[in-house]
Structure 1
Amino acid sequence: MAKIVVDPITRIEGHLRIEAELEGGTIKDAWSSSTMYRGIEKILKGRDPRDAWYWTQRFCGVCTTVHSIASIRAVENALKLKVPPNAELIRNIIIGIQNVHDHVIHFYHLHALDWVDITSALQADPGRTAALAASVSDWPKNSATHFKAVQEKLKAFVGTGRLGPFANAYWGHPAYRLPPEANLMATAHYLEALEWQKEIIKIHAILGSKNPHPQTFLVGGMSIPVDPDSQNALNADKLITVKRLLAKAQQFVEQVYIPDLLAVASFYKDWAAIGAGVGNYMSYGDLPDPVSGNLWFPAGIVRNRDLAKLLPVEQQKVAEFVDHSWYEYQQAGAGKGLHPWDGETEAKYTGPKPPYEYLDTSAKYSWVKAPRYDEAPMEVGPLARVLVAYVAGHKETKAAVEMVLAKLGVGPAALFSTLGRTAARGIDALLNARQTPVYLEMLIDNIGKGDYRIHANEKWDPREWPAEASGYGWHEAPRGALGHWIRIKDQKIYNYQAVVPTTWNASPRDGKGQRGPYEAALVGTPIAKADQPLEILRTIHSFDPCLACAVHVTDATGNELVQIRVS
């Protein structure tokens, strides 16, 4: 039985290693491993809970807002704080556009090249490319002149011989199926998305002062002042700018992203039967109504791919296991998990010394813990979010899902796949692109009524807090269900744990031997060329891994972690 290793998986954030056993050209078993250490939770102990959001958003440089939101919600939950409507609406706008921005970047710059052979675009006819593009969208840049210019730019780039991130791709792989014209169209939009994302993220700069890592979050609300007559506050001019940028974001998603997604997917329908994974899906829900607190994206769990039943999410059923992770628990024995309020982050590396060919996957083999819900593995992410909303009868989600399924000519069961995961991310971007302007209009209306409140102004003094308090903050980040759990004692952080989307999805086996979602999704995947495992990249990238979030690389003492030598 052949064994292949992909290390590191590229076009993701962080270091991910996949080992897979092949039998008859198909993956029989797989193991997911992170080779980075997790430790920032220990840095948070003893600090002021109101500062936790500022530290936790540095878990990652890609997930720029999500840990702030989850952290602040955890503290507010512990202290029983309710934020004013303006603050909730601004948060919803930041959350919504973060999802849209992240999904577009993922599709074009992190995942598209698993399906698009850009070298084939050099043989495309720009006129036929324009005709193809016109058949799927009325995007104004879809002209023969534009596609010809992109093709010339691509030829010049290839002619330099310096291909940068494109140098080691599997170009010409037999698993690529798009005709040259479709490849040229997608390559052109890849370049347009680079310019688009640079403009759209200005919304974060307006509402959060900067990106990455906006600075206006605050326990109890937001710190950005609201005053339509002040140049130093969120005023009418800034709101108009945000409105224009939101419209631009929606236009690109509707006229470029979704048409490209459907066009590419139509050539890969067999991937609707590949990459299903564990079959359990969990969403925490998000986008709270500023008055009622009801979530626009509903929370819930779909078990065993049953689209007829939605289960509630109960936070006390979350636990992390370390039977196959390089940690040791003092409070729990073998096969036992810890709830995040009691979570421990004590490293104990028992793996081989590098360089090594294979890990001992019968023992501990990853720095990622194994989160489980009611002792079952859960997939989280846009697919889980869309499935939960679909089963809950969320009308906007049902309409978007049914539109995509109808255009592809497949049924709902196709969602349980690599292709479904990729399609769900586009659906999620579309839903957020359409809903986020609604929150802006609500904010404008509220300000117009004279409501400038932005902060709760209560319990800011730690002397008002109880001696001990525990809270959790949930957020549906672009990559899925993100949870922060905090225990406060004597006004300081006593314990802090973050269970992030990639920890759920990239988890190793647990004490029962249950595979994590990456591992389960790879089983049964056909591999055309063992030395060029493009198919592994397709399924793993469909989850949009972020290993920095999952393991939180840091060293509080300033010790050197790695040396890089360029020869």
Structure 2
Amino acid sequence: MTTEVRRQAAPAEPGQIIEMAWDPITRIVGSLGIYTKIDFKKRQVVECYSTSSIFRGYSIFLKGKDPRDAHFITSRICGICGDNHATCSVYAQNMAYGVKPPALGEWILNLGEAAEYMFDHNIFQENLVGVDFCEQMVRETNPGVWELAQKTEAPHAKDHGYRTIADIMRALNPFTGEFYREALQMSRLTREKFCLMEGRHVHPSTLYPGGVGTVATVQLFTDYLVRLMKYVEFMKKVVPLHDDLFDFFYQALPGYEKVGQRRVLLGCWGSFQDPEVCDYDYRTMEKWGRAMFVTPGVVVDGELVTTSLVDINLGIRILLGSSYYEDWENERTFVDRDPLGNPVDQRHPWNQTTIPKPQKRDFKGKYSWVMSPRWYDKRTGQYLALDTGGGPLARLWVTALAGLVDLGGYIKATGHSVKIRLPKTALKPEVEFEWKIPKWSNALERDRARSYFQAYAAAVALYCVEKALAEIRAGRTKTWSDFTVPKEAIGCGFHEAVRGVLSHHLVIEDGKIANYHPYPPTPWNASVRDIYGTPGPYEDAVQNTPIFEENGPDKFKGIDIMRAVRSFDPCLPCGVHMYLGDGKELQVVHSPTFGRVP
């Protein structure tokens, strides 16, 4: 149930500080390694390094390609959130081509992305990270907590059906737990919803610049809605169940708020375009960015410092630090000013040149293929190691503080919370959930936000279905707008992948891609120590995390560390890249008799 732990006594204070590594971290995609030093006398992690040993090269082999292929290629960055990449690439292309999709095309795309959020958060929360809180895991790591769970009544038992916290934990047991199996069935419905809108999961076949190729009919949206309402009913069980579970951990283990806690440095790039406002013009990007149904923004120490996509874009810096690359400071500048005339930094993705430099791992020097994206806070002159809170925490936090979202009675951002209304379903009455800004940015609150955002995505989908059906009934059934590819152009797309911030930065020269850099959530969260020595979010969240596990060093599972890391919803394919140099030509020679019938 956990990755094999490698143990080695550190030279200093033998018997107290022990080196332990989890490589690879299990129940995620990709090759994430976490290397730590743990002081078992103080019950605390004293040092942490986040590593990835795989290099891929999308920014390299996209050069020279037809820009219209970018979303099909970048979709293959990940087999989990490939559609998020395709969507973000299409947003960047729409800007570069100067094309605005018809409203119906946008509603369809929004419904596809809502289905993706529902699918991915559901399967990760209930079937992957949920295992960290199941009976088997808690019995192995905290027998005392298990004993207390059996005696603790679940406050929302009438909503989710489990009388005690122990009953919830049993229901989360992999493959045998009732709730675990129910969630697997729900993941099938969510994938079906996605395929109705975008043709194929996870690499869309009907998504293009200018709109979608989906044939829009009343039947299409009815089929989606039937599945959506089953999910809505499921959410009325999911949210109170996780509230009870996570609140119990605060009660059972005083001080558990410190697990995975870091400074509140949250980034959200916004999600779900409003076709009545969005025209993909960079010069109006602030306006249509603030009209998104998830508000873009940056939160620093609880303060919302911006909701401007222009500020967000111009503040992105790619620092190298402890990653295996050569600097590109002396390489060419592709974009010196944005369409509004603002200067663009050499370390912005528009100007980045990827120069891989493989070498031996050295924790005092270079130790990972993941770079160090940072956001430059012009108020303070600091390069901030923003994290995404696993995606939902940042999305809800920014949206709540901004107070801009008000979706037809389904969602209301209040300035301090987000209210989510789910209508009456077959077996359950109408419900309103309210996610309130928490005291901490920590492991439990990242996980809690994931449940609330599943309900949020369902509510957005209900709103978008209504809007899409209104378009059809009005006879506006066009889903795609024509365009031409310019000889010279730049574009940027901003979106939220399931795990958080996603941006694609595109430069077109002579009708071909001259530069292209996608920046998903994992490079932000899994980033390494930068040139200023600032650790990345995984590293920062694990360092100083207290150890509550009852096992000693000889049987240590590292469950508190795993909960801290997995709360970010790691997905390493998006963080690392693979490159084969100039490539090799393969020739396959068939025998002349191959395949002949005797």
Give the TM-score normalised by structure 1: 0.81
| 2:61 maps to which of 40, 43, 51 | 43
Between the aligned partners of 1:483 and 1:409, the Cα distance in structure 2 is 29
Q: Do the aligned residues in 2 keep the contact of 1:34 with 1:368 (CA within 8 Å)?
A: yes
Alignment partner of 2:302 out of 296, 300, 306: 306
Report the CA distance shift for 1:548/1:236 in structure 2 as closer, same or farther (over 3 A). same
Q: For 1:411 and 1:74, how far apart are their aligned partners in 2?
A: 33
Q: Determine which of 360, 379, 385 is the counterpart of 1:351.
A: 360
More helix, by proportion: 1
Between stretches 309-318 and 503-512, larger displacement belongs to: 309-318
Q: CA deviation at 1:455?
A: 1.1
Is it true that 1:295 corresponds to 2:276 in the alignment? no
Q: CA RMSD in A?
A: 3.0
How far apart, CA to CA, are the structure 2 residues paired with 1:50 and 1:408? 41
Q: Within the alignment, does 1:416 sit opposite 2:441 as a pair?
A: yes
- Please say if 1:268 is aligned against 2:293: no
Task: Quote the residue 1:392 is aligned against.
Answer: 402
Match of residue 169 from structure 1: none
Per-residue CA distance 1:498-557 (angstroms, 9 max, x = gap): 111010000001100011111111122112344321111101100000100111346483
Does the CA contact (< 8 Å) of 1:310 and 1:388 recur in 2?
no
Q: Identity percentage over the alignment?
A: 28
Within the candidate set 516, 530, 551, 2:536 is matched to 516
Alignment match of 1:477 (pick from 481, 489, 497): 497
For 1:489, the equivalent position in structure 2 comes to: 509
Distance in 1 between residues matched to 2:418 and 2:477, nearest whole Å:
40
Corresponding residue number in structure 1 for 2:571? 546
Which ranges of structure 1 fall in alignment gaps of 5 or more residues? 145-177, 226-233, 353-359, 561-567
Structure-2 change in CA distance of 1:240 and 1:367 (3 Å): same
1:558 is displaced (CA, Å) by 6.4
Contact 1:85 1:291 in 2 (8 A): yes
2:315 counterpart of 1:317: yes
The question of 1:60 aligning with 2:78 is answered yes
Contact 2:323 2:371 in 1 (8 A): yes
Give the whole-Å Cα distance in 2 for the aligned partners of 1:368 and 1:242: 38
**Matched residue of 1:367: which SS?**
coil
For residue 551 of structure 1, give the secondary structure of its aligned residue in structure 2: coil
Q: Find the residue that maps to 2:21 and give its secondary structure.
A: strand
Q: Distance in 1 between matches of 2:105 and 2:129?
A: 34
| C-alpha separation in 2, matches of 1:221 and 1:471 | 16
- Give the residue type in structure 2 aligned to 1:26: Q
2:372 aligned partner: 370
- Which region of structure 1 is more displaced relative to structure 2, 546-555 or 470-479? 546-555
How far off is 1:420 after superposition?
A: 1.0
Displacement, 1:329?
2.3
Residue equivalent to 1:217: 207
Structure 2 residue corresponding to 1:97, chosen from 89, 93, 115: 115
Q: Aligned residue for 1:326?
A: 324
SS at match of 1:432: helix
Q: Displacement of 1:413 after TM fit?
A: 4.2
Which residue type is aligned with residue 157 of structure 2? V
Instruction: Tell me: higher relative CO, structure 1 or 2? Use CA pairs within 8 A at least 6 residues apart.
Output: 1
Q: Partners of 1:522 and 1:36 in 2: how far apart?
A: 22
Q: How does 1:149-228 map to 2 (within 5 A)?
A: 180-186=166-172, 187-225=177-215
Q: Which runs of 5+ in 2 are unaligned?
A: 1-16, 144-148, 279-290, 332-344, 377-382, 421-431, 587-598
Q: Please name the residue that 2:227 is paired with.
A: 245
Whole-angstrom distance in 2 between the partners of 1:236 and 1:410:
33
Q: Distance in 2 between matches of 1:408 and 1:224?
A: 33
Closer/same/farther in 2, CA of residues 195 and 132 from structure 1, 3 Å limit: farther
Please tell me the residue identity of whatever aligns with 2:294. F
Letter paired with 2:318? E
The aligned amino acid for 1:342 is N
Partners of 1:200 and 1:245 within 8 A in 2? yes
Q: How many residues align?
A: 494
Change (3 A) 1:417 1:397: farther
Please report the TM-score for the alignment, with normalisation by the length of structure 2. 0.77
Q: Could you tell me whether the CA contact under 8 Å between 1:276 and 1:521 is conserved in 2?
A: yes
